[in-house]
Amino acid sequence: EALGPTITVGEILVEIMATTVGTGFIEPQSLAGPYPSGAPAIFIDQVARMGGAAGIIAGVGDDDFGRLNVDRLRHDGVDVSAIAIHEDWPTGSAFVRYRPNGARDFVFNIARSAAGQVGLTSAAEALVRRAGHVHVMGTALTIPGARKVILFAVETVQARGGSVSLDPNLRKELLTDDGALDSFNQVLATADLLLPSGDELFTAAGRADEAAAVAKLLESGIGEIVLKRGEHGASFFGRGLPRIDCPAFTVDEVDPTGAGDCFGAAYLTCRRKGMAPDAALLHANAAGARNVTRLGPMEGVSTLAELTTFIAETPRR
Ligand code: ATP
Ligand code: MG
């Protein structure tokens, strides 16, 4: 952590969610929100809430959706100096409704919102030049401007001895051009820590078997892989280290969105503070589990003290 803050790049959004389960938005219905959101924003807010130095390169509109997000991030301790305020673009948004089987329907406004305008401003460059770690969100690689900033940040921070983590999180709905995949492979080739969930491990490795995929990625130079398994917990794989499995905490899931982002942020922040992988994994599991108990993707972020209490009081599966 001494080298500089953890930074991330990408979309800040408001999330507006249907209050009922069903299919999409083709009829009038009641909605809840706006809630602060965007995978990179949720991640960086969780880093800051745990006491990690944190900053984000992003864009919002000059509107209430933007103010809601920037106020929350600033309040929680995130360096917001590299969030550009765009006069001509509205803050990005995601409308989400859960289906009975747990799948989600989204209506996104990202590419044609302020979130789609992320670029290398002088404030962004200054933040990159003092950063110690870059966390790359796959979602942000689908925004061409953000992609350039990310590749610049990865190169600059690694050149000064910093590290890089990658959450694949590449939603098919957002994969609109080849640039996203190319840049994904570039980041994957130099990442120190990979945080996949579900099939993302297989896609990243080009292998359909978990052990083979992990082995291939560790051989290719990734130091640590932490696999997120939703309600089944998570596993750690490190080069030359024994595998660690961590069962999930038993909680009532109210809203799963954001669990992976909080999990990744907690894991990384613990590791950057010098915690061993097993303790970091336990805290990350706790951060993911706490997040799903709250409505709204960023409403369940945790302080270190809250995680400590949660770990002591909550049974595990
Ligand atoms: P998203 O992309 O929707 O934010 P993800 O797919 O990246 O999520 P998940 O595996 O869903 O990530 O969740 C991350 C972690 O949060 C899990 O590994 C687990 O530790 C915790 N978690 C998620 N859902 C639950 C749950 N229902 N009960 C307990 N813990 C959970
Ligand atoms: Mg995810």
Which residue is listed with tokens 């689908």?
Answer: 142
Using a pLDDT cut of 70, give the percent of the chain over it. 98
CA of residue 88 to ligand 2 center, whole Å: 31
CA distances from 33 to 18, 28, 97, 148, 150 (A): 9, 16, 12, 31, 30
CA of residue 295 to ligand 1 center, whole Å: 14
The pTM (predicted TM-score) of the whole model is 0.97
Query: Of 315, 261, 246, which is closest to residue 292 (Cα–Cα)?
Result: 261
* pLDDT at position 116 over 70: yes
What is the b/e burial string over 1-31, where b = at least 16 CB atoms within 10 angstroms of the residue's CB? eeebbbbbbbbbbbbbbbeeeeeebeeeeee
Closest residue by Cα to atom 8, ligand 1, is 260
CA of residue 83 to ligand 2 center, whole Å: 23
Cβ within 8 Å of residue 20, ≥6 positions away: 29, 30, 97
Instruction: Report the nearest atom of ligand 1 relative to the CA of 230.
Output: 10
- At 102 the pLDDT is 86
- At 176 the pLDDT is 67
Report the pLDDT averaged over residues 213-226: 97
Ligand 1 probe mutation, 226, 263, 294, 311, most atoms within 8 A of CB: 263
pLDDT, tens digit, 9 for 90 and up, residues 167-205: 998 766 666 677 888 999 999 999 999 999 989 999 999
- At 175 the pLDDT is 66
CA distance 256 to 231: 10
Closest residue by Cα to atom 17, ligand 1, is 230
Instruction: Report the nearest atom of ligand 1 relative to the CA of 234.
Output: 18
Query: Of 214, 184, 197, which is closest to residue 258 (Cα–Cα)?
Result: 197
Any bridge partners for residue 106, and if so which? 96
CA distance 122 to 102: 42
Burial of 191 (0-12, 13-18, 19+ CB in 10 A): buried
pLDDT, tens digit, 9 for 90 and up, residues 12-43: 999 999 999 999 999 999 999 999 999 999 99
Helices (H), the chain: 39-49, 64-75, 122-129, 144-159, 178-190, 200-205, 210-219, 259-272, 277-292, 304-313
CA distance 232 to 36: 27
CA distance 261 to 6: 14
Report the pLDDT averaged over residues 72-99: 97
Using a pLDDT cut of 90, give the percent of the chain over it. 93
Any bridge partners for residue 245, and if so which? 235
Q: Which residues line ligand 1 (CB under 6 A)?
A: 169, 197, 228-231, 233-234, 248-249, 251, 253, 256-261, 263, 285, 288-289, 292
Query: Of 72, 102, 31, which is closest to residue 298 (Cα–Cα)?
Result: 72
CA distance 246 to 85: 41
Closest residue by Cα to atom 7, ligand 1, is 260
Closest residue by Cα to atom 1, ligand 1, is 260
How many residues would you count in the chain? 317
Query: Of 229, 302, 244, which is closest to residue 51 (Cα–Cα)?
Result: 302
Closest residue by Cα to atom 12, ligand 1, is 260
Report the pLDDT averaged over residues 297-307: 98
Report the pLDDT averaged over residues 118-125: 97
